[in-house]
Amino acid sequence: MADLDVKAEVQEVLDKLRPFLLRDGGDCELVDVEDGIVKLRLLGACGSCPSSTITLKAGIERALLEEVPGVLEVEQVF
C-alpha cells in the first residue's frame, strides 16, 4: 500500500481520536508516514503532559495498529 493511502487512513483515525485529545487541552498533528512508521507531533497540553508517552503508545498507536494495515509503529517528533 502506498504511503499516501496509509497517510489518508491514519488521518481518518486521528480525526476520530481528536475530540478526546481536545477535551484534555491537547491535539496531535500527522507529520509523515514512512515505511510503516507514523510520525506525530503532540500539541497543546499533550506536548508537555507527563502521560503523553502513554497516550501516544497505548492510545494512538494501538488504534492505528488495529485500524490501518501497514502501520508498524508510532513515533513522536518534536
d(CA 31, CA 76): 9
Nearest to 68 by CA among 29, 15, 10: 10
For residue 16, give the 3-state DSSP assignment.
helix
Return the pLDDT at 48. Answer: 83
68 contacts 37 by C-beta, under 8 angstroms = no
d(CA 2, CA 26): 29
Structural domain spans, the chain: 3-76
- How high does pLDDT run on average in the chain? 91
3-76: what CATH class?
A: alpha beta
Return the pLDDT at 2. Answer: 67
Beta-carbon contacts of 20 under 8 Å, excluding residues fewer than 6 positions away, are 59
Return the pLDDT at 51. Answer: 84
